[in-house]
Structure 1
Amino acid sequence: MSAKSDSHTTTDHKKIQQWAEARDGKPSIVESTGKNGGGLLRINFPGYAEDNLKEISWDEFFKIFDDNDLQFLYQEETKDGGESRFFKFVNKD
């Protein structure tokens, strides 16, 4: 059994949304990349805002996520047991 501080990957939309919302994260894209229904995905957390992020709906977020064949790499807790906000998007292959 793996520790909560280990990294995990998932493509499960519900799990990704629950993880983000538990940390007050909002689905977003980097604004300058959001052309033709795509864009670089981000999860925007309070206090960590990048100036160039545009909040989008979860439906739009997951359409981009699926269209780009991505996985969500994330961590539940930091090594010292605190809530982790570590995540990144990685290719499935």
Structure 2
Amino acid sequence: MNDQRRPGTRDPYAGPGASRSLKKPPESVVPGEGPQQPGRIVATRNHDVIRRWAEQRGARPATMPGSEYNGHLGVLRFDFPGYGGAVLRAVGWDEWFAAFDARRLTFRYQERGADGAPSNFNRLEQPHRDEL
């Protein structure tokens, strides 16, 4: 068996779960800009898009208690109604977006799942070192 990597395979230095497709600039989808294909995952840094997506699902901006550092928010989350699990602390949109912008995060989300039903899938990602 040959140990050489095939061209086009995943970058071994990108870290766990990273792929070349995540290195391209995130596409921002604004409501009314085009069709939302079921199952499609898009990315944005647009505050209006993020807030609209969360509010349509009844989600509120939140943080994990105890994750704060030097008076700044720590882990950013959305608190969805009816979900148990970790206890989250509600925060205001201004404070949440200030932390989001300071860390240069990207919001990846899904409008609808592959079955066409509204999706709560979301993930906050930090930029890769080569994008800083």
TM-score over 0.5 for the pair = yes
Which residue of structure 2 aligns with residue 19 of structure 1?
53
Task: Note the 1:33-72 alignment, pairs <5 A.
Answer: 33-35=67-69, 36-72=71-107
Greater C-alpha radius of gyration:
2
Cα distance in 1 between the residues matched to 2:36 and 2:81: 29
In structure 2, the partner of 1:91 is 126
Match of 2:65 among 12, 24, 31: 31
Between Structure 1 and Structure 2, which shows a larger proportion of strand residues?
1
Q: Identify if the C-alpha distance between structure 1 residues 49 and 83 changes in structure 2 by more than 3 Å, giving closer, same or farther.
A: same
Report if aligned partners of 2:36, 2:111 keep a CA contact under 8 Å in 1: no
Which residue matches 1:10?
44
Gaps of 5+ in 2: 1-34
**Larger RCO, structures 1/2 (Cα 8 Å, 6+ apart):** 1
Alpha-carbon RMSD across the aligned residues, in angstroms, is 1.5
Does the 8 A contact of 1:32 with 1:52 survive in 2?
A: no
Unaligned residue ranges in structure 1 (runs of 5+): none
- In the alignment of these two chains, the number of paired residues is 93
Q: Deviations over 1:31-78 (max 9, x none)?
A: 110232121000010011444210000000000101111000000001
Counterparts of 1:61 and 1:49, CA distance in 2: 21
Q: Distance in 2 between matches of 1:2 and 1:84?
A: 12
* Identical amino acids, percent of aligned pairs: 33
TM-score (norm 2): 0.66
